[in-house]
Every structure is written in structure tokens, then in C-alpha cells.
Chains A and B, each alone.
Chain A
């Protein structure tokens, strides 16, 4: 009886201390000290989103707006600095790799707390990875955490040490942890055990039931209008003067459906940041940036590459006779090279992007500082080269200039372009005029984007299309699904059981080698070789990479836009308003 009372009192006392600590955050624990300019707390930041987020659940969020909001409320173990494109410590204070590079031991920050004041430790990490790797949860991150189809193993060594075991050596291992948000076990274990994790943390979630380790936490959601986040008082970063980050009291996401409307709201001063705009709108805004007190930034080429895609699928024979007939041309390497020679990429840069883009010959843009192969030649238009290539591949010209193949058939094909994307329609129209000059008759078919995707991915009923791809990270591993012949985004020839050509087999081999190659120089050489093969074989004809164009009010300090997503808010914790 006595003992029970005593323990009871001790337990009560403990609860009280925990409450007191929780209500009064003090800078104890392994806080990260930022190197950025120390700022002034206060104020709010208003940002426009194209649409409402669909969910606040980091495990199931697929769409951009959801992820934009969630990333401000959560944190990862290791993160990729968007500006340097290198990894840096986040929730993990340090890490070591075993000599065979298969075991990573991460030390966690001690004494840090979720935004509801609950302490964070290794149990949360183990729980988070358990959730992400659970097949039944269908998390978006699961694919990234599988290596060769096998999940990575996670084990708690002590409350602040976690060990990860990879199925094989993996060059980009540290980068895996970025965008894998740590989840609060105390809030999500119950829903997970009851099998309703996927539906937890919808937009209707009560503020008390959601917590994260990010700089901000949920304040309110007004359907159809805005999501408001407020400062997380338990955030784990301080500046060099000892002030706890973030500086901003609130971040408000407004829902503004179109880019034009977003530009108008920004011009009117309703929003503080423009996250990616078109070159035309950039030019319109540039005229009055001084007068209205905002600043625009041209960050140079991003990671996105636009390309002309030829249908090289082999399931069209018999089913789609006309497509199959055209494919005889598309499969000819010299034909693809001739098309590439005939396309005026400089005109695309000038007319479609008003000069704010870079011509490309392979998929890696110059914006990818670490990985682009600088030795690749800059693409130059040459009609004579194009004609020589066609002639040597057995094509001829009729008296009126029409190109005909060796059987006498005129060469003509259609190019799909997304009807809602003016840039891609313009590129298609320019290519149409370019190819007219070598006697090829091209028909531009604007099409609703989903109908276009359906043709490219499902029915394979198309000749060619203008598309764009861009991965979230600079590392080549992020592009595996595009270049492996079995990859799900291997758009020009989907569902290959074996590499259809010897050069695709070479790409497969190189991509797999770089994945496990630990010597950075060797790895770069391997990926350079992939780029060279793509530039020579042209499975897709890369066109240009548009520059990332952003804007913000001039008084916003520590604003460091980057070419990796999220371009403007990736360091939201450091942003502050200058007086």
C-alpha cells in the first residue's frame, strides 16, 4: 500500500515536470546552430498554391500542394541542402558507414521535441520506417527505400542511435533519408495498428492530433481558401545569437488556381513569394520590380528536361499498322539523329522561353552541377548534316521537296502536345516548321494531358510527343526508373523484358554499376558514359531545360532560392522580414 502510494507520487511528479518542460521550451539538447544571417522574429509569409492540399499525411501525400505544406511541418534524418545539392545533418547529428558500406549508424539529436512537446527518440525513427516500408500502407516513399526490391532494415541500438542495414552497398545511401519525414509514434501508432493510417491526418485533423518536427505546425485550415501554419516553439535549430528558429510567426498558403492569377496576386502585394513562373510572366513582372518592392531571380536551368519522344514500343505490329509503319523510320538511329540536327533549339530558347532556357543534347541539365557531362558538345542546328544523315539511311526527296523513304512513302508523322501547356504547343509548332525544311510533314495534335499520357503509357497509339521529365534530386539514382530498360518511366519503350537494343543493355549495366559504386570519380565516369550514349542514340531527343524563375518581396531576408524543389521555401525556417 505504502509502496503503491510512493510510486504513485513519483509518477505524478514526473508528469508535472514533463508538463512544465513542455510548456516552456528552453534551448537544451543537441540543437543545430545555423550559419545563416541571424534574423528578427515575427511576421508572416503568404504563399500561393495552385490547389488545395489533398492531405496532411506525409505517408500518402502525392500531390505538390500537399507536399509543399507537409514539408514545412516535418523534418528528415538527413537532408539535401537545396543550395549546395549536398547532404547535411538534420535530425541525425552524425552518421558512420561500415567498411562494406552496407551498415549506417545514425546518432540522433538528444532532447528535441515534436511540435506538441512530446520528445523524439529512436522509437519514432523505427516506427516511421516500419510505416513507410509496410506494403499495406502504400506509402509513396516505399519505392525509394527498396534497393533491388529488398527493403532496408532498421534497428534501434539505444534511445539515440539507429542502425540501417542495406541489402547491398548503395552509393546514394545518405540521400535516401531526405523527404522521409519522421512521424510521431505517440500519435500515429494507434491508427497504424488499427489499419487506418492512410486516412489519418486528413485536412479535417484537429490541431492537437497532428505534430511534426518541422519549423511550423498546423494552426487552421479554411476549406477552399487557406492553410495557416504557425511557428513551432520546439523547433531544433537556433541561430548564432542563440535565437530559436523559425523567425516567422506564420506561413499562410492561399489557394490561387492559375499562374496568371498568382502573378496578379503577387503584383498586388497579396502574396510574398512566387514559386516558379513562366518566362513571359517573368518579363511582365520585371518591368515594375523596383517600383513595387519585389525581386525576381533567374536561377538558371533546373533539373527539368523537355524532349521529343518517338514511339519505339514493339507491341504495335498488327494492332496499329500505321504506327508500326512509321516506327521503321523512328527505329533508325540516323533518322533520329537527323531530326535532332534539324531542330532549332536556339529558336525554342528564344521564342518559347524568351531566352530563359538552355539547349540540351542529353538529359542532365547544366543546373545539375555535380553530374552533367561538360564534355558533351553543345547542340548546333545543321540542315546539311541532317540531310546527309537521311541520305545515308536510304531516304530521298521528291521534286517538290517531300522526304520519302526507301519504299517511296512520304515521311510524315504526328506530334502530341499537352493542350493546356502553351510552351509545349509552341515547341511542337517550331519543330513542325523546322522539319518542313527537310521535307518532313509534321502534324501537331494538341491533346488533353491525361489523354496524351494514356496513349503514351497504355495504348502506345502515337507517333511522337513532346514531354518533360525532371526528378526531385540531382543524383543519378533518382533517374533509374527512366533509363533502366525495365523502368516504369522508360517512356519510349515500356515493358521491355530484356533490353531491346545493345545500347540499352549498356545503359542498364552502367546505371546498375553507378548505383553501388562507392568511388565518386568512377561513378561520375559511369554516368557520363550514360549521357554520351543517350546523346548518340537519342532514344528521346532532348530539347531545352527551362530556367527556374522565382520572385519574392525585397524585404524578405535569407531568401536563397534553389533549383531543387521546393525552390523558395526549402529554408523557410531561416526566412525573416527585414525592417
Chain B
């Protein structure tokens, strides 16, 4: 594979995942907060093409889950075939907070439900929650990485280019940030925040915290590159011709950091996604009923959930291919052209 191909494959996969998440309202059959209280911990719906009597159907269908009396023990109600329909009307949703619609990619009629990845303890559809949760988890990773990289670029280039007291100050600050025990500090910070915070407020706060913690590494890398770049002969030459500091920085020094920033992005984004998942898992992230992959996984803190309902672990499993794509991307970007 050429370098371009090696970059294109993971990038395409990541774009596809992000599109799914952005259009979660359309792809997901239900709202992430809707509770089907008759169906706690329903296993994933089985999509059939052949019915009980052996007939083939061209349209895939499901059987409704029927509770057999015991808690979370289900059998398929084979008495009625519930075809999976496409472009159905369902609950209202918004795409990116603008586009309002109620058309969903697929769905089945009541009383059946389509739980592609099962349901949680409140009877909420795990597949829908996974998509809506991705909006928080994936996008907070992206935004936090953008924040960390901009901060890193700003501080690193300023320190590296101008040196002296400013450089010393910035680098010592970054060291302080590196040694602080962040997780424990966050627990303390949460106690001082107002009790009622909107999900959007918590989301932005999370991004700010993760980004603010993560800027030090890119800053140190950028500083190293800027330090060596500003001593290059062509920079000296340009300076000799009377180029301004700003021109030199913009034209000759900063472009050198592009490669580092790209690879750093590919490394930091999965780290920051994991940071959000960890914080939400511990109850420091967005609050119920808004899903995020972290708070979906927090049900697994109970031993019996882990042992009885395997589909509850899926939000953890989807992290693996996503992280793998990011690391493949980072490795390909590191390779020389």
C-alpha cells in the first residue's frame, strides 16, 4: 500500500463512524432516553428472514420479546411477524441541533421493538444510546484534542521562538500540569460545582478540563521543533533580508510543526475519548439520562450485570476498532513521504 492508501483507509473508517454519530437521530430507531419499562435487559433482537414454519420472507422481520414472568427472562413471541420497515416515522430528533425531523432509518411497529444491541436496565435501546453516546464521547475527544493542540501550538511556539523568561515560565507551568493527580483533583472540583448543570454545560466543561490537562505534550514537541527551525540557515537568510518576526514564524517556522501536530492529533484524540469515558464511568461526566459511552459502561460496576447481560459491554468494545483506526492513522502519518 502506498502512504496515501495507508492514510485513506483508517481515515475513511473514522469518517464513516463520525457520520453515523452525527446523524444518530436518523440512524437510531429510538431516542436515547426513552424507557421501555416492560423490557429491562432485553437481549439483542434477532433479525429473521425465515419464520417458524420455514417460510422465507423478502423483508427481514423480528419477533417481539415476551417476558416469561421472571425478571429479564425473555422468549420470542413467534405468534406475530413484525417486519422491519425503513424510513419510518418515530420520535422527534434534531441533527446537529438544527435540522428537525421524525423520520428514522428503520423501525418496527409496536408492540415489538427492535433492540439491535439489546436494552439496558431501564429498557432503553442500547444501539440508539450507543449512537447518541458517541456524540458525547467521540466529539468531546475531537474538540478536546483541538483545544489541547491549539494551546500546545500557542505555548510551544511562543516559548520556543522567543525563549528566555517566557519559555521558562511556560515550560515550568507545563511541568506542574504534568505532575498534578488529575483524577483526584476532579473529584474535589465536582463537589464545588453547582448541583444543577445542563448536559451541554457539563459537556463543555469536560472538554475544557481534558483539553487543559492535555496541552503539555504537544507544547513541548512544538517547542523543540521551533527551537531547531529558527536556527536554520534559510530562516537566518530571511531575517537578513529584513523579514519581520511574525512573517518568519508564519512562513518558515510554524509550517515545520504540521507533521507533529497531525500525528499528535491522531494520538491524542483516542486518549481524550478514553478520558471522557473514564470520567463518565466514574460519574463525573454528563448526567443521566443523556448517554455517553462512559456512563453506559458504568452499569458494569455491578458484578451481576457483567455476568448476566453480555451486551452491556458493547460500548467498551466499539472503542477498540476506533482506537485502532486512529493509531494506524498516526503511524502512517509518521512515515516519511
Q: Which residues of A contact B (CB under 8 A)?
A: 260, 263-264, 278-281, 283-284, 344, 347, 350-351, 354-355, 412-414, 416, 419, 422, 425-426, 428-430, 432-433, 443-448, 451, 461-463
The answer to whether A433 and B40 touch (CB under 8 A), given A280-B302, A414-B196, A445-B195, is no
- Determine whether the beta carbon of B71 is less than 8 Å from that of A354: yes
Q: Which residues of B contact A422 (CB under 8 A)?
A: 301-302
Q: Which residues of A contact B195 (CB under 8 A)?
A: 414, 416, 443, 445, 461-463
Report the minimal beta-carbon distance from B94 to chain A, rounded to whole angstroms: 13
- Determine whether the beta carbon of B304 is less than 8 Å from that of A281: yes
The answer to whether A433 and B289 touch (CB under 8 A), given A347-B37, A350-B37, A443-B196, is yes
- Determine whether the beta carbon of A426 is less than 8 Å from that of B71: no
Q: Tell me the B184-208 residues at the A interface (CB within 8 Å).
A: 191, 195-197
Question: Would you call B122 an interface residue if the criterion is a C-beta within 8 Å of the partner chain's C-beta atoms?
Answer: yes
The answer to whether A284 and B307 touch (CB under 8 A), given A426-B121, A429-B288, A433-B33, is yes
Q: Which residues of B contact A283 (CB under 8 A)?
A: 70-71, 304
Identify the closest chain A residue to B191 (Cβ).
A451
- Determine whether the beta carbon of B288 is less than 8 Å from that of A284: no
Q: Which residues of A contact B289 (CB under 8 A)?
A: 429, 432-433
Question: Would you call B303 an interface residue if the criterion is a C-beta within 8 Å of the partner chain's C-beta atoms?
Answer: yes
What 10 A-B pairs are tightest by C-beta distance, nearest first?
A: A260-B303, A354-B71, A280-B304, A414-B195, A414-B196, A446-B283, A429-B288, A284-B304, A443-B196, A347-B37
Q: Which residues of B contact A428 (CB under 8 A)?
A: 288
Q: Tell me the B263-297 residues at the A interface (CB within 8 Å).
A: 283, 287-289
Identify the closest chain A residue to B199 (Cβ).
A443
Report the minimal beta-carbon distance from A311 to chain B, rounded to whole angstroms: 11
Q: Which residues of A contact B305 (CB under 8 A)?
A: 280
- Determine whether the beta carbon of B197 is less than 8 Å from that of A443: yes
Identify the closest chain A residue to B190 (Cβ).
A447
Chosen A-B contacts, 22 in total, with CB atoms closer than 8 Å, are A260-B304, A264-B303, A278-B304, A280-B302, A280-B305, A284-B304, A347-B37, A350-B40, A350-B71, A354-B72, A426-B121, A429-B288, A430-B122, A432-B288, A432-B289, A433-B35, A443-B197, A445-B196, A446-B287, A447-B191, A448-B191, A461-B195
Identify the closest chain A residue to B198 (Cβ).
A443
Contact with A along B233-275 (1 / 0, CB 8 A): 0000000000000000000000000000000000000000000
Question: Would you call B308 an interface residue if the criterion is a C-beta within 8 Å of the partner chain's C-beta atoms?
Answer: yes
Identify the closest chain A residue to B71 (Cβ).
A354
- Determine whether the beta carbon of B308 is less than 8 Å from that of A444: no
Q: Which residues of B contact A351 (CB under 8 A)?
A: 37, 40, 121-123
Report the minimal beta-carbon distance from A262 to chain B, rounded to whole angstroms: 11
A419-B283, A445-B287 are known; give 8 further A-B pairs, CB within 8 A. A281-B303, A350-B37, A351-B121, A351-B123, A354-B71, A414-B196, A426-B121, A443-B195
A569 to B121, CA, bound (A): 33
A355 to B72, CA, bound (A): 11
A445 to B194, CA, bound (A): 10
Q: Which residues of B contact A444 (CB under 8 A)?
A: 287-288
Identify the closest chain B residue to A416 (Cβ).
B195
A143 to B304, CA, bound (A): 41
Q: Tell me the B30-49 residues at the A interface (CB within 8 Å).
A: 33, 35, 37, 40
Identify the closest chain B residue to A282 (Cβ).
B304
Q: Which residues of B contact A461 (CB under 8 A)?
A: 195
Q: Which residues of A contact B302 (CB under 8 A)?
A: 260, 280, 422
Q: Which residues of B contact A429 (CB under 8 A)?
A: 122, 288-289
A433 to B32, CA, bound (A): 12
Identify the closest chain A residue to B41 (Cβ).
A351
Identify the closest chain A residue to B283 (Cβ).
A446
Identify the closest chain A residue to B35 (Cβ).
A433
Identify the closest chain B residue to A444 (Cβ).
B288
Report the minimal beta-carbon distance from A459 to chain B, rounded to whole angstroms: 11
Identify the closest chain B residue to A351 (Cβ).
B40
A161 to B197, CA, bound (A): 65
Identify the closest chain A residue to B303 (Cβ).
A260
Report the minimal beta-carbon distance from B306 to chain A, rounded to whole angstroms: 9
Q: Which residues of A contact B283 (CB under 8 A)?
A: 419, 446
Report the minimal beta-carbon distance from A417 to chain B, rounded to whole angstroms: 10
Q: Which of A350, A412, A447 contacts B196 (CB 8 A)?
A: A412
A134 to B152, CA, bound (A): 66
A350 to B41, CA, bound (A): 12
- Determine whether the beta carbon of A263 is less than 8 Å from that of B303: yes
The answer to whether A284 and B308 touch (CB under 8 A), given A351-B122, A426-B121, A445-B287, is yes
A351 to B37, CA, bound (A): 7
Q: Which residues of A contact B70 (CB under 8 A)?
A: 283
A461 to B196, CA, bound (A): 12
A414 to B70, CA, bound (A): 34
Q: Which residues of B contact A448 (CB under 8 A)?
A: 191
Q: Which residues of B contact A280 (CB under 8 A)?
A: 302, 304-305
Report the minimal beta-carbon distance from B323 to chain A, rounded to whole angstroms: 27
Contact with A along B61-81 (1 / 0, CB 8 A): 000000000111000000000
A377 to B178, CA, bound (A): 61
Identify the closest chain A residue to B197 (Cβ).
A443
Q: Which residues of B contact A451 (CB under 8 A)?
A: 191
Q: Which residues of A contact B288 (CB under 8 A)?
A: 425, 428-429, 432, 444
Q: Which residues of B contact A432 (CB under 8 A)?
A: 288-289
Identify the closest chain B residue to A454 (Cβ).
B191
A430 to B122, CA, bound (A): 8
Identify the closest chain A residue to B33 (Cβ).
A433
A425 to B120, CA, bound (A): 14
Report the minimal beta-carbon distance from A91 to chain B, rounded to whole angstroms: 43
Q: Tell me the B210-248 residues at the A interface (CB within 8 Å).
A: none
Identify the closest chain A residue to B193 (Cβ).
A445
Report the minimal beta-carbon distance from B295 to chain A, rounded to whole angstroms: 10
Identify the closest chain B residue to A344 (Cβ).
B37
A428 to B122, CA, bound (A): 12
A414 to B307, CA, bound (A): 33
Report the minimal beta-carbon distance from A199 to chain B, rounded to whole angstroms: 34
Q: Which residues of A contact B72 (CB under 8 A)?
A: 354
Report the minimal beta-carbon distance from A322 to chain B, rounded to whole angstroms: 8
Q: Which residues of B contact A425 (CB under 8 A)?
A: 288
Identify the closest chain A residue to B302 (Cβ).
A422
A428 to B303, CA, bound (A): 21
A428 to B287, CA, bound (A): 11
Contact with A along B121-133 (1 / 0, CB 8 A): 1110000000000
Q: Which residues of A contact B122 (CB under 8 A)?
A: 351, 426, 429-430, 433
A263 to B191, CA, bound (A): 33
Most chain A CB within 10 A, of B123, B289, B305, is at B289
Most chain B CB within 10 A, of A414, A429, A444, is at A429
